[in-house]
Amino acid sequence: MVEASRIDVSIEHKHAPEPPPKKHPNTCPTCGSHFRDDELDAALRVCTHCGHHFPVKARKRIEQLADRGSFVEEAADLRSADPLDFFDLRAYKERLAEAEIATGLGDAMVIGSATIEEQPCELAVMDFSFMGGSMGSVTGEKFARACESAAAAGMPLVTISASGGARMQEGILALMQLPKTVCAVEELHESGCALLSVMAHPTTGGLLASFASLGDVLLAEPGALMSFAGPRVVAQTTREKLPDDFGLAESNLRFGHVDAIVRRPELRPTLARLLRLFGES
């Protein structure tokens, strides 16, 4: 075994969120209620019994937020290369192909323009089901293009994060997506446009350490894990029992790191309000 001080300092990890015990994805991990797909969708994928927020895939999220028919996708054709010819237990190329088949997405982020309650904005929405929402070259590039589209149109950018962090399989280039997206936010801000950042479960590692934290306004969904290092890594390093709400949105609010926790039914009107406030750049 290697020393703890070596292993545990890494911040990127796929398993950041304690995965709910592998029941049916429509079974509430908090109260055990089970829902049909259409029931859950009608409730915006929030448990009608206990309020648990189920994960939302990128396209479903866009449906929930954007005015019907307003979303125009951009850069849908971007695909990851495999610059390191990366092979762990399986080839990165294979993982990518599998993720694309499973999700119907080219990578872990979907971008495009839309309106929310008639307020124009650019959207950049992550999808945790594509390789844990990890950020590699494509996600970084899509984010940068979303910033550029927003700046060109003079409208705010709304991001919904759901990610375990940087994509290890792209090595140092994945890490470079942190400064890349940070530079893109700076350019966006200089053009006078706002970044409204919504953090869904989970927003960890490289996401929290780059654009997701740089919003003019930071919103979080209830119960979302928002930590730089994941609970497992922190527990291993410090050998301490973690607080029950370690890294959760609620703890982050208390410690001053987010502006508000917004329940999903209020997310669309809240974003609309913020777009009215920040919209005229």
Partner 1 sequence: MANDAEIRLRDRLSKLSGLDLLRGARLSGELERLKRQLDRIEADPTDEEIWSKVELARHEERPYTLDYVERLFEDWFELHGDRGRGDDAALVAGIGKLEGRTVALVGHQKGRDIKERSNRNFGMAYPEGYRKAMRVMEIAERHGFPLATLVDTPGAYPGVAAEQHGQGGAIARSQAVMARLKVPTVACIIGEGGSGGAVAIALADTVLMQENAIYSVISPEGCAAILWRDAGERQKAAAAFKPDAAHCLELGVIDGIVPEPVGGAHESHDEAARLLGAALADAFDELENVPQAELRARRRQKFRAMGVLA
Question: DSSP character for 191?
Answer: T
The partner in contact with residue 269, picked from Zn ion, partner 1, none with C-beta cut-offs of 5 to 8 angstroms by kind, is: none
- Nearer to partner 1 (CB atom), residue 43 or residue 84: 84
Least distance to Zn ion from the beta carbon of 224, Å? 16
The partner in contact with residue 104, picked from Zn ion, partner 1, none with C-beta cut-offs of 5 to 8 angstroms by kind, is: none
**Neighbouring residues of 90: CB distance < 8 A, sequence distance ≥ 6:** none
- Nearer to partner 1 (CB atom), residue 11 or residue 198: 11
Least distance to partner 1 from the beta carbon of 65, Å? 17
- Nearer to partner 1 (CB atom), residue 43 or residue 209: 209
**Which 29-68 residues touch Zn ion, going by CB under 5 A?**
30-31, 33, 47, 49-50, 52
The partner in contact with residue 196, picked from Zn ion, partner 1, none with C-beta cut-offs of 5 to 8 angstroms by kind, is: none
Q: 180: alpha, beta or left, given left = phi > 0 and alpha = psi -120 to 50?
A: alpha
The partner in contact with residue 28, picked from Zn ion, partner 1, none with C-beta cut-offs of 5 to 8 angstroms by kind, is: Zn ion
Tokens of residue 54, six digits:
């189920």
C-beta separation of 54 from 46 below 8 A = yes
Q: Parallel, antiparallel, or unpaired: how do β-strands 119-126 and 109-116 relate?
A: antiparallel
Tokens of residue 124, six digits:
């950049």
- Nearer to partner 1 (CB atom), residue 38 or residue 88: 88
Which among 22, 98, 112, 104 is positioned nearest to 57, based on CA atoms? 104
User: Beta-carbon neighbour count of residue 180 at 10 Å?
Assistant: 19
- Nearer to partner 1 (CB atom), residue 40 or residue 274: 274
The partner in contact with residue 242, picked from partner 1, Zn ion, none with C-beta cut-offs of 5 to 8 angstroms by kind, is: partner 1
Least distance to partner 1 from the beta carbon of 262, Å? 11
C-beta separation of 116 from 89 below 8 A = no
C-beta separation of 12 from 164 below 8 A = yes
- What are the residues binding Zn ion (CB under 5 A)? 28, 30-31, 33, 47, 49-50, 52
